[in-house]
Amino acid sequence: MATAMETAAINAACACMRNLVVRDDICYICLTEEKLVDLASEVKDVFALSEDVKVKLKDEEEKLGKIPTYQVKRWLEQSKTTCNEAKGLEIEYRGKWFASGYCSINCCSRYNISRRADRLSMQLKELKREKNDFKDLTETQGENIAMKIPMPLDLVETPYLNQICTYLNDAAVNVIGIYGMIGTGKTTLLRVIYNSLLDDGMKNFNQVIMIKDSHNLNLEKIQKKIAEELNMPNDSTRNVMRYLKGKKFLFLLDDICQKVDFAEEVGIPLGDNKVIFTVLNRDMCSRMRAHRIVEVKCLKNEKAAWLIFNQNAKIEDLEFDSQFNKKKVNDLAKEVVNKCEGLPLALTLFGQAMSNKKTVEEWQHVVDKLDKPGSSDTLEMENTLHNNLKVCYETLDTPTLKKCFLSFSLWYNYPTIYKEDVIQCWMGLRFIVFTKYNEAFNEGCYLLGRLQNACLLTVVGDEVQLHHMVHRMVHSVASQDGTKMGKWIVRRNNSGQPQVLAEEIEEWKDAERIAVTMDPAIKEMPELSHNFPNLVSLMLQGNCSLIRLPDGIFQQMKKLEYLDLSSTSIDQLPMGIKDATNLQYLNISKTKIELLPRELAQLKELKFLICRKLKLGELEEGLVSSLYKLGVLELQPYTFVPIKCLRSSAASMKRIGMLVKSPLVFKLISELPTCYIQIEKLHELESISFESLSCKNRGCLEKLKLTACNELKELVVDGNESNFKKLHLWDLKNLNWIKFNGVEPRSYFQKLRKLYIAKCKSLKNLPWVLHLPTLVTLKIEQCEILEEFVCGKEEEIQQASECYSTFPMLEILSIGFLPSLLSISNDPLIFPCLSNLIVEGCPKLSRLPFAQHIITSNFRRLDCEEDWWNGLTWDDGHNIKSYIATKINFKEAGSSQPSSSSLPPVMTCPSPCIHPMDVIQSFSELSINKPALALEGLSTTTRA
């Protein structure tokens, strides 16, 4: 070991050599201590500068809401890293010093430490110079990255934007989910929000970040995108959360396709930060725990729809050889727009496709194609549209749900699809397996809800609605992908040539399900040259000209389980119906069949027999009791069952609808699971208790019609809450009281949607109708002494109306031939949903019960006589009168007189598939604002 004297000598020698030209390496060995002292000084300087910068940053962030520039953030990171490395070097040197004494540090170690100290000192000096070059420490958040997204047109309907802005201002709302069918404008809405916030200076947020095409990004990529937008070097969840803590950010994520936990997985703390995302279905919004959910629907504004279409079609730029052709093309263009039904994607694609069509013939061709699905030369833009819409279908997560959706191809072009028909179809096709009808129906409602959440359909009351383009898509998918879903063949022959169907059928011998519907050209099913060994479902409904099936057809379809012949012109079942030994579902509603053959009793597997609106009279004795598996029997409204058959089948029945004309059958009703009852001409009845009209354990009475029971004086509404959806009281001359025994009207009739009262000559008032929560249609006719709907003390009525809304869902109110009617109500009432009012033959009615609210409501039309209108009294300074005057459709006095019979006036209908009596019986169910009864082939607007 070197002595202290030797060390001193070496240092002295080195001091001398500093004055000479010597190698730098010798200095690194001899001057380690000095270099570390210099390094410590530089560290102190840079640390002090860093602290000054941090203080200023905090001050500007808190007072001005600014954030560090990227240059400053990088400088702070480098300063921190370099200072930490310098401190580590000092610790390393001192550790070696104290380990074994000074001379334990050999020349190599001293050299390396000195070189590293020198390098770090130079880096720290460079950092000090960079600090002096700073122009600004902070910047306004987003000024580098928040650029407006180009928008061709601001086509988002204002209510959506206003609704979301309200949520953004609500401190309790952090996550907002936007969902809707593909092509409705969700992305456009997100862009409008982004641009509007930029225009507003983002005064409520430090920064707004929009991440597009999120469906192509996994969680890691979303984090990376956020880090890039925030200029962050590290994109981990912890770093994102640390950076956002205490700040107000708005994140817009478009087209999320998988569940994302914004706080735990992405790192977005949901304190003051907010997230808006778009998805395809409502279920995803719920799974992502959205605090508020907004559904974007198709455009309701016709001008906006035309604007989108014309922006792409540029009709005004097209050259035409005459003004007539230009006008014709303009009219055809409006037809195309109407077919798009407000779907922006369809309007855009069809507009682009039509931008080079210059002749009337080309435009007419497109319009023709839009009326005919499944064409061999489907238009290219329609393929593009279908591929986009098909994404919603592909998100359905179970085969059953997909099959249920494909079944809507059977109802193409139907004006109305009834929920009950859809669910019964699913039961018959065994998509829903059940032991109790109510449970199966609830499952069907659940499946419809799933399809609605996927934005493939809309359920409105008892009806199911599909967008026209979705209907075309489902027909296309069912036709093209039917082989993948149980070989389901769906065809709608548009050629008008029946032989085309015969040629196609020959190719379907391996099919399991065949549907040929809505073809007016088919009069007879062709004779089949081969068997269909795998066929389980045959659907021929809606072929209004079809009059017969080949007699031996069922011998060629031994496995057939489901047969639908409804709304055809068939007048008798084929002689070989007994050969369909596996048949479980048979629907012959709205045909011309007047007698059920005895062979039907041999169908021992039959579970569903649907015979709505058939004039079968009384069924043959023993027919029903022979069908020991029969669970659903619907015979309403004209057919009744012998008492012996009912008694023997009561235990196995799950649902029955029928005509009741016998006192003995009436007494048996409480033992039957009735769904529809028409009680007719039971003159000995003086009082009816609603509780006795359905089996307590299995009852689900939905529709009740009381007709021509001359001695009936009292209806007693009692029992538990009911499932009533329709109630008809018709020609009950002595009925003077409807008594509610232990129940409130609004609770008992909580599902009642249609109420029709006619020719009840002893009724004086109807106060119980005022607060029915789901009543949509109310029609009162020919009640001669009816003086007012709402009676009672003014204070009582006002108090009740303060607790419950008046007519909360009423859309159609029709009052006719009420000669004693003085008022609907003495006080103004609120009709939040009223769209149509029909008044005729009410000469003493001098006031309308409208409050000022009617001016801002959805009211569309008043049908009345001009003399009656001119004689009305107004108390509001003519504000309401001026508004209603713009909605009037005057009738000629005496143009429609009340019928002298017990039936309403006869209406005509062009469909050969519906009996005139059916239309008469259904008069009260027709929507006044839907006059389109000219239906092709099948008219399903009338239902029992």
Is residue 821 situated within a structural domain? no
Is residue 772 situated within a structural domain? no
Arithmetic mean of pLDDT, 569-588: 94
Q: Write down the H helix ranges in 395-467.
A: 399-406, 419-428, 437-453
Does residue 198 share a domain with residue 102? no
Range ranked top by mean pLDDT from 83-92, 167-176, 373-382, 910-919: 167-176
* Burial class of 341 by CB neighbour count within 10 A (0 to 12, 13 to 18, 19+): middle
Arithmetic mean of pLDDT, 522-536: 89
Is residue 798 situated within a structural domain? no
Give the count of beta carbons closer than 10 Å to the beta carbon of residue 934: 10
The band of 905, judged by pLDDT with boundaries at 50, 70 and 90, is very low
Percent of the chain with pLDDT over 90: 30
* pLDDT score for 378: 47
Helix (H) or strand (E) holding 84: helix 70-100
User: What digits encode the pLDDT tens for the residues 98-110?
Assistant: 555 544 456 777 7
Q: Which two tokens stand for residue 900?
A: 């002298």
Q: How far apart are CA 569 and CA 590, in angstroms?
A: 8
- Residues 510, 487 contacting (CB under 8 angstroms): yes
Q: Are strands 585-587 and 175-179 parallel, antiparallel or unpaired?
A: unpaired
Does residue 116 share a domain with residue 173? no
Arithmetic mean of pLDDT, 404-424: 84
The residue with greater pLDDT, 699 or 588, is: 588
Picking from 378, 399, 397, the residue whose alpha carbon sits closest to that of residue 387 is 378
- Sign of the CA dihedral with 794 first, then 797, 799, and 802 last: negative
End-of-domain residue from the set 295, 318, 346: 295
* Burial class of 749 by CB neighbour count within 10 A (0 to 12, 13 to 18, 19+): buried
* pLDDT score for 821: 94
End-of-domain residue from the set 106, 140, 174: 140
Give the count of beta carbons closer than 10 Å to the beta carbon of residue 197: 21
Give the count of beta carbons closer than 10 Å to the beta carbon of residue 433: 8
Arithmetic mean of pLDDT, 222-229: 75
Q: How far apart are CA 782 and CA 866, in angstroms?
A: 21
Eight-state DSSP code of residue 571: -
Arithmetic mean of pLDDT, 56-65: 72
* pLDDT score for 573: 92
- What are the Cα distances from residue 143, in Å, to 67, 146, 147, 628, 647? 10, 6, 8, 78, 82
Residue 78 has pLDDT above 60, yes or no: yes
Does residue 169 share a domain with residue 70? no
Picking from 665, 607, 615, the residue whose alpha carbon sits closest to that of residue 636 is 615
* pLDDT score for 942: 29
Q: How far apart are CA 41 and CA 83, in angstroms?
A: 11
- Residues 535, 512 contacting (CB under 8 angstroms): yes
Is residue 719 situated within a structural domain? no
Residue 311 has pLDDT above 80, yes or no: yes
Does residue 180 share a domain with residue 121? no
* pLDDT score for 497: 61
Is residue 351 situated within a structural domain? yes
* pLDDT score for 178: 95
Number of residues written out for the chain: 944
* Burial class of 750 by CB neighbour count within 10 A (0 to 12, 13 to 18, 19+): middle
- β-bridge mates for residue 655, sequence order: 632
Q: How far apart are CA 191 and CA 150, in angstroms?
A: 9
Does residue 168 share a domain with residue 280? yes
Q: What is the DSSP string of 893-930?
A: TTSSPPPSSSSPPP---S-TTS-HHHHHHTGGGS-TT-
Residue range(s) defining the domain that contains residue 47: 4-140
First to last CA, the chain: 115
The CATH number given to whatever domain includes residue 365 is 1.10.8
* Those residues with Cβ within 8 angstroms of residue 471's Cβ, 6 or more apart along the chain or in another chain: 373, 408, 411, 412, 413
Is residue 666 situated within a structural domain? no
The band of 237, judged by pLDDT with boundaries at 50, 70 and 90, is low
For residue 704, report the phi and psi dihedrals to the nearest 5 degrees: -130, 130
The CATH number given to whatever domain includes residue 398 is 1.10.10
User: What digits encode the pLDDT tens for the residues 867-901?
Assistant: 999 999 887 656 888 889 989 999 876 555 664 44
* pLDDT score for 715: 95
Arithmetic mean of pLDDT, 157-177: 87
Does residue 136 share a domain with residue 180? no
Arithmetic mean of pLDDT, 513-539: 87
Ramachandran class of 213: left when φ > 0, alpha when ψ lies in -120 to 50, beta otherwise: left
Residue 143 has pLDDT above 60, yes or no: no
Q: Is the backbone peptide bond immediately before 637 cis, with ω within 30 degrees of 0?
A: yes
| Residue linked to tokens 């082939």 | 937
- What are the Cα distances from residue 821, in Å, to 312, 754, 771, 780, 831? 56, 21, 20, 11, 20
Residue 473 has pLDDT above 90, yes or no: no
Q: Of 212-216, 456-460, 659-663, 717-721, which gets the smallest average pLDDT? A: 212-216
User: What digits encode the pLDDT tens for the residues 316-354?
Assistant: 887 777 777 888 988 999 999 988 989 998 898 888 888
Q: How far apart are CA 493 and CA 498, in angstroms?
A: 8
Q: How far apart are CA 540 and CA 780, in angstroms?
A: 38
Q: How far apart are CA 93 and CA 771, in angstroms?
A: 89
Does residue 308 share a domain with residue 286? no
The residue with greater pLDDT, 516 or 910, is: 516
3-state secondary structure 708-758: CCCCCCEEEECCCCCCCCEEEEECCCCCCEEEECCCCHHHHCCCCCEEEEE
* Those residues with Cβ within 8 angstroms of residue 703's Cβ, 6 or more apart along the chain or in another chain: 636, 657, 675, 676, 677, 724, 725, 726, 727, 728, 944
Residue 206 has pLDDT above 50, yes or no: yes
Picking from 577, 556, 578, 455, the residue whose alpha carbon sits closest to that of residue 506 is 556
Q: Is 676 helix (H, G, I), strand (E, B) or coil?
A: strand
Does residue 179 share a domain with residue 287? yes
The CATH number given to whatever domain includes residue 280 is 3.40.50.300
Q: How far apart are CA 227 and CA 233, in angstroms?
A: 7
End-of-domain residue from the set 295, 328, 360: 295
Does residue 188 share a domain with residue 274? yes
Residue 218 has pLDDT above 50, yes or no: yes
The CATH number given to whatever domain includes residue 572 is 3.80.10.10
Residue 20 has pLDDT above 50, yes or no: no
Q: Which two tokens stand for residue 191?
A: 């862009």
Arithmetic mean of pLDDT, 151-156: 50
Picking from 141, 355, 330, the residue whose alpha carbon sits closest to that of residue 246 is 141
Residue 914 has pLDDT above 70, yes or no: no
Picking from 904, 578, 550, 575, the residue whose alpha carbon sits closest to that of residue 731 is 904
- Sign of the CA dihedral with 304 first, then 308, 313, and 317 last: positive
Percent of the chain with pLDDT over 70: 79
Does residue 403 share a domain with residue 316? no
Is residue 878 situated within a structural domain? no
Arithmetic mean of pLDDT, 267-287: 85
Q: Are strands 417-418 and 463-465 parallel, antiparallel or unpaired?
A: antiparallel
Does residue 113 share a domain with residue 229? no
* pLDDT score for 258: 80
Mean pLDDT score of the chain, rounded to an integer? 80
Q: How far apart are CA 595 and CA 576, in angstroms?
A: 15
Does residue 133 share a domain with residue 28? yes
* pLDDT score for 56: 85
* pLDDT score for 816: 95
- Residues 561, 534 contacting (CB under 8 angstroms): no
The residue with greater pLDDT, 76 or 611, is: 611
Picking from 589, 578, 534, the residue whose alpha carbon sits closest to that of residue 943 is 589
- Amino acid type, 344: P
- Amino acid type, 765: N
* Burial class of 356 by CB neighbour count within 10 A (0 to 12, 13 to 18, 19+): exposed
Is residue 742 situated within a structural domain? no
Strands (E), 458-528: 458-460, 463-465, 488-491, 513-516
Picking from 245, 279, 257, 246, the residue whose alpha carbon sits closest to that of residue 175 is 279
| Domain count of the fold of the chain | 6
- Report residue 577 CA to chain centroid gap: 41
- What are the Cα distances from residue 575, in Å, to 555, 579, 606? 11, 9, 17
- Report residue 921 CA to chain centroid gap: 33
